[in-house]
Structure 1
Amino acid sequence: MFKKAFLLLTAFCLIFNLVDAQTTRLVNPILAGFYPDPSIIKVGKDYYLVNSTFAYFPGIPIFHSTDLKNWKQIGNVIDRPSQMNFMGDRVTRGLFAPAINYHNGTFYITCTQIDHKGNFVVTAKNPAGPWSDPAFLPSVRGIDPSLFFDKDKAYVVYNGDAPDYKPLYSGHRTIRMNEFDPVKLTASAENQILVNGGVDISKKPVWIEGPHIMKVGNWYYLYAAEGGTSVNHSEVVLRSKSATGPFVPYENNPILTQRGLPADRKDPVTSAGHADFVEGPDGKWYAIFLAVRPYEDDYYNTGRETFIAPVTWKDEWPVINADVKEIQYSYATNIKENKTPGLQPQSGNFKYSVALNKPLDYSFLFLRTSDPSWYSIGKDGLTMKLKSETCAGTGNPAFIAKRQQHLNCSFDTELSFDTDKAYEKAGLVIFQNEEHYYYICKSVDEKQRPVVQLYKSGKAGETELLTEQPLTANAQGKLQLRIRSNGAFYAFDYATTAGKWTTLKDNVDGKFLSTHTAGGFVGCVFALYATSNGKETTSTAKFTRVDYAGNDSVYR
């Protein structure tokens, strides 16, 4: 009798523990919105993740987690203009593909400053910063560098030119390796080719990039993206008994891709690749990677986002998302969730409100550099001086942004701004790049009557006035402005009385802001924006808060 009761109790405990352990679902994307080119490292029980930011400043956000689900941004790697700035760069240039590593008490991040000095490394003892000034690596000629530490040796591995600078076809690249000195932060002058073209050069593979090396058991695994960062994107893997090769490709490559799936599948995820592997807190392996959520065909405005999927080991090869072809919007795990009270979610549906009477948090973005001379924060809000620069140029306009993180969302603010000059404007912009944005703003018309206006960007800094409405006398104080996204369409609203919204214009073409139309590598951001359009002025605009709410059907 006792034995039977004991066995029943044991079985109950096992079942209870299993159910209790499987309470964490990893929801994709784990970082919603414009968080491309992810790289991850595990140090003890802590995980640190970084992403590309291109010409936005501060550069390279760094996130921390203990459960791979709940992520907190703890800083930015490039957070001082003295480290570097991106003045003169188009928004889709700047910083490409950072990689994070840890060795002997030091964190290392390698990255590419495209079009300028190229590849560099920065270090820190604390991942929250401060990070060192960049040490550039002139002998590492290419993009997407990452480090690998192997006993008493260290290497930098990266995407390089075709052999002898003679590509056999468009997109022909190599994966190369240089020895790296982790103390002097220098790379050897000599390099060797680890991969030529891709896993099978006879098939003319393109854009082998984003490489990493890891050692698991007795094997060294070299894994990289292949196929370009659009719908043909993929991840491939090779292995060797030596860190320097020769590397043999997996016969069932790619180990991750979404190409070839039915285009009409429900809630598709596409363009998956640029992966990094990590062992989870449950002892299982996971891959983080970039992918996108289109609302139609290849149209998406939220940019390339950070996703996660489980890794299955098959005959000592890692395969991502092995059980189903389609990337899932959530995965059940045995991970114990560690949720911090008050932590802003980065996945699923969420909303937030930020009072602009305190220092801006790490997620706010500027264009190309940070210059506190044109804005200040007081107890009643954020005051921005109108600058002559516009967001159509390549300077540092009065522009402070947050990412669009859902297909269906709204972003609003409260504005105090008065002017008698038609060239002075302040409001909200939904911005993809210098030639693809919409701007809802307060200004005056040609007769100096206050109006709310909606502009659409054009070529070479030109803008088109889509519509305007006069504002009544009670709008001389605070005005609320709101932008709503509904996949392929945007709507623009205003309110002269708090909460009583009037639609200025709806069903505005959202595809104009898509990566498919605009090109480049970034995603849309909502920005507080004030400009005097090339003229000098002393005028200011005050913003008291920003509110965001995202509500995508796949999470309901």
Structure 2
Amino acid sequence: MKSPALILIGCVAFSMSSLMMASAVVADPKPQASFHWFDYQGQDPVFAEPLAKGEYQNPMAAGFFPDPSITRKGDDYYIAVSSFAYTPGLPILHSRDLVNWQLIGHALNRSSQTEFSGLQISRGIFAPTLRYHDGLFYLITTAVDSGGNFIITAEDPAGPWSDPVWLPEIDGIDPDIFFDDDGRVYITHNGPPPDEPLYEGHRAIWLWEYDPETQTVLPESRKLIVNGGVDLSKQPIWIEAPHLFRHQGWYYLLCAEGGTGYNHSAVMFRTRSLDKPFEPYSGNPILTQRDLEIDRPDPVTTAGHADFVQLPDGQWWAIFLATRAYQQTYYNTGRESFLLPVNWQNGWPHILPAGEPVPYRPDTPRGLPQVPVTEPLTGNFSWRDNFDGKALNVHWNLLREFDRSWLNLDQQRLLLQAKSAGLDSMAQPAFVARRQQHMHFTASTALSLPEEGMSAGIAAFQNESYHFYLGVRADTEGYQVFLERAGDGEPEQVASQQIQPSSEPVRLKVEGKPGQIKFLYSIGSGDWHSLGGKQDGKLLSTEVAGGFVGTMLGLHARLETGE
């Protein structure tokens, strides 16, 4: 047995060793980038003229706000939209007048709810349904490749929201929850057809009864209510996004049909009883833009995937997704949220007559005085973050994971700890981003010259395979500004320029317009210099990059020598 003296000496030696190791860890942390501010400016000509009295601006939520679902509590209106593999997930928007909306939070903000690790950006959270019933808000949605269908609830839609109640019996996407007048609750959703698919895009809509007490669906209640779409003989594709509601003794089923591209539409079915078949409306679709000239100016395209809300005075309004395209079928801003009134004719709802374009400036809802918001989601606005808050602004998004241990707000700076994962990685890179909400825009930032072994800068990101990165890094000659482009392959450097060390921050800027994007840099308050010239902005469009998201603009830090 060792003597007490030897034990004490050993403990002291161990403690000194531990302190030295801890000091080494503290003395050699991973390098971090220091960003001073981020500025975004929207400059779309279609938004340029002031609104006339009594008008509102479409889209009412510009940029990547797809698959909107709406509900009302008293005089307050709330929307939930898809978020795919971005975190936090399920953005929640709020309005008092249906036309001025503000992002107030997210329903998914922690890993105990769900995880998107390793997913492509267009997987994760698909179309949600948001409903208010008996003092509680309900959100039902699908976590594709990360758990399936689930329900979460909250007393306040700004949060906090519960952990999920998973629904493993439901095979499919786009679930809807409906509270009937007799107290029974139903779930409808897109799923496989009852037999082998007859053609590509052949899907079906299924109905289940849900027991809120046991938080389970009743297995024996499963029922096919739409097979294929409005007319199976015409081979309709991708019937999805069902929303069930009741009006004047009828059950109405609102669905999307035709795929989420140019042939997208909204179609309607109804029945007197959920025990009887649904009949399709002879005037379908009640919303589409596929029957207009494809080369029209300032087109709104891909309209569909709608949801309804009824106002206290009985008015009905529809929100739906659509896109603002250039060169016929290209769009970088993702699928946006639009608003139009619903007119009832012969017991059927109508959103837009056939052949009529979605208006950019319709009349506001009757009887709802406009209530402006502090951070608007449409029109030509400016948005700036000086990083002077205690928490990251609600408009910032991360990729895949909820971990934020690598970022910090300190003394009016955003500090990003560099990671080895780049923007092409399926891991979580050190990247924070906000939506591109305009076809014509500038986004800029200022950062301190980064430490050796890392790069830092600004990025325009559509997905893992399609993005641009304008970065700064140290090299043997001082510092280098460089531009990387990824287009369905490994990222490649397309331009670089040596700059001299300076105590002043480096400013970086992205300028975008339809089909074109430019990258510029400046030292301190000096002149702007272009790097790489005009780049093909279509690289960031859904038409080229695929998927279901929109372009995000943000800040990135990356280890250049590995971890």
The worse-fitting range, judged by mean Cα deviation, of 389-398 and 427-436 is: 389-398
Larger radius of gyration: 2
TM-superposed deviation, 1:328: 0.6
**Of 87, 96, 99, which aligns to 2:126?**
96
Segments ≥4 residues shifted beyond 4 Å: none
Query: TM-score with structure 2 length normalisation?
Result: 0.88
**Of 493, 508, 511, which aligns to 1:465?**
493
- Equivalent residue runs for 1:401-480 within 5 Å: 401-421=433-453, 424-445=454-475, 447-459=476-488, 462-474=490-502, 476-480=503-507
For residues 429 and 453 of structure 1, the distance between their equivalents in structure 2, rounded to whole angstroms, comes to: 12
- Asked if 1 retains the 8 angstrom alpha-carbon contact of 2:60 and 2:338, the reply is yes
- Asked if 1 retains the 8 angstrom alpha-carbon contact of 2:386 and 2:412, the reply is no
Q: Secondary structure at the match of 2:332?
A: coil
- Asked if 1 retains the 8 angstrom alpha-carbon contact of 2:331 and 2:543, the reply is yes
For residue 114 of structure 2, what is the aligned residue in structure 1?
A: 84
TM-superposed deviation, 1:140: 1.1
- Asked if 2 retains the 8 angstrom alpha-carbon contact of 1:39 and 1:49, the reply is yes
Say whether 1:392 aligns with 2:420. no
For residues 153-176 of structure 1, what are the alpha-carbon distances to aligned partners after superposition, in whole Å with 9 as ceiling and x for unaligned?
Answer: 100000011113x11111111100
Q: What amino acid is aligned across from residue 462 of structure 2 in structure 1? A: Q
Q: Secondary structure at the match of 2:233?
A: helix
For residue 251 of structure 1, what is the aligned residue in structure 2?
A: 282
TM-superposed deviation, 1:284: 2.2
TM-superposed deviation, 1:183: 3.0
Q: Secondary structure at the match of 1:466?
A: strand
For residues 197-230 of structure 1, what are the alpha-carbon distances to aligned partners after superposition, in whole Å with 9 as ceiling and x for unaligned?
Answer: 1011010101000000111111111010000000
Say whether 1:357 aligns with 2:388. yes
For residues 362 and 162 of structure 1, the distance between their equivalents in structure 2, rounded to whole angstroms, comes to: 40
- Asked if 2 retains the 8 angstrom alpha-carbon contact of 1:101 and 1:109, the reply is yes
TM-superposed deviation, 1:485: 0.5
Say whether 1:531 aligns with 2:541. no
For residue 402 of structure 2, what is the aligned residue in structure 1?
A: 370
TM-superposed deviation, 1:282: 6.0
TM-superposed deviation, 1:281: 5.9
- Asked if 1 retains the 8 angstrom alpha-carbon contact of 2:292 and 2:355, the reply is no
Q: Secondary structure at the match of 1:332?
A: coil
Say whether 1:235 aligns with 2:266. yes
Higher relative contact order (CA 8 A, sep 6+): 2
- Equivalent residue runs for 1:229-308 within 5 Å: 229-280=260-311, 283-308=314-339
For residues 330-365 of structure 1, what are the alpha-carbon distances to aligned partners after superposition, in whole Å with 9 as ceiling and x for unaligned?
Answer: 111234333246x11111111111111212122210
For residue 509 of structure 1, what is the aligned residue in structure 2?
A: 536
- Asked if 1 retains the 8 angstrom alpha-carbon contact of 2:398 and 2:433, the reply is yes
Q: Percent identity?
A: 44
Q: CA RMSD, aligned part only?
A: 1.6
Note closer, same or farther for the CA distance 1:184–1:362 as it changes in structure 2 (3 Å cut): farther
For residues 132 and 522 of structure 1, the distance between their equivalents in structure 2, rounded to whole angstroms, comes to: 26
The worse-fitting range, judged by mean Cα deviation, of 451-460 and 188-197 is: 451-460
- Asked if 2 retains the 8 angstrom alpha-carbon contact of 1:85 and 1:369, the reply is yes
Query: TM-score with structure 1 length normalisation?
Result: 0.89
For residue 63 of structure 2, what is the aligned residue in structure 1?
A: 33
Say whether 1:106 aligns with 2:136. yes
The alignment of Structure 1 onto Structure 2 pairs a total of residues equal to 508
Say whether 1:56 aligns with 2:86. yes
Note closer, same or farther for the CA distance 1:436–1:323 as it changes in structure 2 (3 Å cut): closer
For residues 326 and 149 of structure 1, the distance between their equivalents in structure 2, rounded to whole angstroms, comes to: 34
Say whether 1:490 aligns with 2:517. yes
For residues 28-60 of structure 1, what are the alpha-carbon distances to aligned partners after superposition, in whole Å with 9 as ceiling and x for unaligned?
Answer: 111110010000001111111000000000000
**Of 201, 209, 226, which aligns to 2:257?**
226
Q: What amino acid is aligned across from residue 122 of structure 1 in structure 2? A: I
TM-superposed deviation, 1:531: 0.5
For residues 116 and 504 of structure 1, the distance between their equivalents in structure 2, rounded to whole angstroms, comes to: 40
For residues 492 and 228 of structure 1, the distance between their equivalents in structure 2, rounded to whole angstroms, comes to: 35
**Of 304, 307, 329, which aligns to 2:360?**
329
For residues 381 and 311 of structure 2, the distance between their equivalents in structure 1, rounded to whole angstroms, comes to: 25
For residues 116-149 of structure 1, what are the alpha-carbon distances to aligned partners after superposition, in whole Å with 9 as ceiling and x for unaligned?
Answer: 3211000111111111101110111110001011
TM-superposed deviation, 1:390: 1.2
For residues 129 and 293 of structure 1, the distance between their equivalents in structure 2, rounded to whole angstroms, comes to: 31
Q: What amino acid is aligned across from residue 32 of structure 1 in structure 2? A: A
- Asked if 2 retains the 8 angstrom alpha-carbon contact of 1:52 and 1:98, the reply is yes
For residues 447 and 275 of structure 2, the distance between their equivalents in structure 1, rounded to whole angstroms, comes to: 58
Alignment gaps of 5+ in structure 2: 1-51
Q: Secondary structure at the match of 2:363?
A: strand
Note closer, same or farther for the CA distance 1:458–1:249 as it changes in structure 2 (3 Å cut): closer
For residues 556 and 243 of structure 2, the distance between their equivalents in structure 1, rounded to whole angstroms, comes to: 39
Q: What amino acid is aligned across from residue 47 of structure 1 in structure 2? A: Y
Note closer, same or farther for the CA distance 1:499–1:45 as it changes in structure 2 (3 Å cut): farther
- Asked if 2 retains the 8 angstrom alpha-carbon contact of 1:61 and 1:75, the reply is yes
- Asked if 2 retains the 8 angstrom alpha-carbon contact of 1:68 and 1:280, the reply is no
Q: Secondary structure at the match of 2:71?
A: strand
For residue 243 of structure 2, what is the aligned residue in structure 1?
A: 212
The worse-fitting range, judged by mean Cα deviation, of 403-412 and 126-135 is: 126-135
- Asked if 2 retains the 8 angstrom alpha-carbon contact of 1:311 and 1:322, the reply is no
Q: Secondary structure at the match of 1:25?
A: coil
For residues 505 and 312 of structure 2, the distance between their equivalents in structure 1, rounded to whole angstroms, comes to: 49
Q: What amino acid is aligned across from residue 305 of structure 1 in structure 2? A: E
Q: Secondary structure at the match of 2:226?
A: strand
Q: Secondary structure at the match of 2:521?
A: strand
Alignment gaps of 5+ in structure 1: 1-21, 537-556
TM-superposed deviation, 1:292: 0.5
- Asked if 2 retains the 8 angstrom alpha-carbon contact of 1:34 and 1:403, the reply is yes
Q: What amino acid is aligned across from residue 317 of structure 1 in structure 2? A: W
For residue 45 of structure 2, what is the aligned residue in structure 1?
A: none
TM-superposed deviation, 1:463: 1.7
Q: Secondary structure at the match of 2:284?
A: coil
